[in-house]
Structures are given as C-alpha cells and as structure tokens.
Amino acid sequence: MTSNPRLTPQEVASYNEKGYVLPKDNVFSDQDFHRLKAIFEEDLEQYGADNLDVIHFRDARLLEFLLSDQVLDLVEPLIGPDIGLWSSHFICKQPKIGKATPWHEDSAYWNGRTSTMEGIVTVWLAIDRAFPENGSMGVLPGTHSGGFSEYERVDKNENIFETQIVGVDESEAVYFTLEPNQCSLHEARIIHGAKPNTSEFRRCGYTMRYFPLTTQVYPERNVGHKIWLARGIDRAGNTLENA
C-alpha cells in the first residue's frame, strides 16, 4: 500500500463494490491545476476537440501530471503499487452540443489488447464544472464484473459512438457533479454514459487511465501505442516508456 493513500479504506471498499468512487479533495494544487488547464486550452486550440486522445503522445508536458504522486496516490490503493500508464484523453463537450455518450464499457473497446481488463482504472479529472445538464458522466453501480455486454447500433448524429449497450435501465444510474480540479475514479468494466450537453456551459475533462503491472499488454495488438512505467515494478514483461 502507498505510504500516502488518498482514499480511505471505506472509499476503497465502496469502489470494489460499486466500481467507482468520488474523492472529496481537489486532485492538484491550485497552481498546478491552472497550469494543466492552460496546457489543455493550448492543445484544444491546436488540435481541436476531436483529436485529443492519447494527447500525451504529442504533448510531453502532460506526463508531469499523469505520473504525479497526486494522481498515483489515488490509484495505488485500488490496484496496488505496480502501476502502468495506459492512456489519457481530453474529452470536451461544447455548449449546446446535442450528442449523448451512449451507455458503454471502456473494456469493450479495449477487448483483446491486454491479458485482463480487471483493474484498469480511469481518473476523470474535471477541467470545467461537470453536472448532468452539461453532460457529466453517469454510471450503473456494481456493473463492473462483466465488461462485454451486448451492443446495438444507434444514430451517430445524436450520439458520440455508433453503438450502445442493449437494455440499460437508466433509473439505476448515478450522475456525477464535479467542480474543477475534482475527480471521479471508475473501473474499466463499469457501464457508464452521459447525457448531451444542453446547457450554455462547456464540459471538459481529462481521463487519466492506469493498469496494474501484473497485466500483460500485447504489443501485436497495440501497434503504435505507448505505455509508461508510472510507479513500482513491471511484473508482466511489458515494454514500457520511462519518464
């Protein structure tokens, strides 16, 4: 266990049961968060909102934040001391953009790329305030034991993705409200989605994704994808970048 855990034993137990947790504290200092937000604004202007996946491949300044103790001390209580950086993505919904994020599992999009999906965790950092009316994330608690549900096609004009999980009971959903510099953490297999941004307020977040280094990442199924040693020791024979 990390010597500086940022989650209580009760929060860890809740995460294991429900597949998500909402820490109360800000992730970064005010100064560091403002620097990160400034980097985001630069990348948004340079690349556009649709081209910010694995943005740290192009903007190495982000590694300072992705590999920081402030973030890794949130992750380690959940997956252990040996941590790899899997990916990151600035996700931005502009005001009045009427596209929803369909119900899905992250694991469904990564199927076959790793030896297991268990343990992959996303830190969803709010760059802007996130609330249901501007498209904050909602989850179905306790749905993280599977990871490969049945999907059906949906209208791409109204949804960010072309598919959604069949038969989701939205009455069970929990939607998050996050202030800037707050975060949620969710397991890769949990069913989640978001409503369209019908508000006048932008909703942008930074997803920082990590995996336990007992998991093997298959190079032949991840051509061009780079992973980093974030903390500890690689125990699965992965090819890792070093900061």
Average pLDDT in the 153-177 region? 94
pLDDT of residue 146: 87
Average pLDDT in the 37-53 region? 97
Per the prediction, the chain carries an average pLDDT of 96
pLDDT of residue 95: 94
Domain locations in the chain as residue ranges: 9-231
Average pLDDT in the 209-226 region? 98
End-to-end, the C-alpha distance of the chain in Å comes to 22
pLDDT of residue 2: 58
Compute the distance between CA of residue 183 and CA of residue 122 in angstroms, rounded to an integer: 10
9-231 fold: Jelly Rolls (2.60.120)
Average pLDDT in the 78-105 region? 94
pTM given for the model: 0.96
pLDDT of residue 98: 73
pLDDT digits (tens, 9 = 90+) for 173-205: 999 999 999 999 999 999 999 999 999 999 999
pLDDT of residue 10: 97
pLDDT of residue 34: 98
For residue 41, pLDDT over 70 is answered with: yes
Q: In the chain, pLDDT over 90 holds for what percent of residues? A: 93
pLDDT of residue 97: 83
CB proximity list for 97: less than 8 A, separation 6 or greater: 196, 197
For residue 88, pLDDT over 80 is answered with: yes
As given in the structure block, the two tokens for residue 194 are 């978001």
pLDDT bin (cut points 50, 70, 90) of residue 99 is confident
As given in the structure block, the two tokens for residue 192 are 């989640």
pLDDT of residue 180: 98
Where on the phi/psi map is residue 210: left (φ > 0), alpha (ψ -120 to 50), or beta? beta
CB proximity list for 109: less than 8 A, separation 6 or greater: none
pLDDT of residue 197: 95
Please give the biggest Cα pair distance in the chain. 48
Phi, psi for residue 141 in degrees, rounded to 5: -55, 140
pLDDT of residue 30: 98
Average pLDDT in the 122-137 region? 97
For residue 1, pLDDT over 80 is answered with: no
Residue recorded with tokens 């059906």: 152
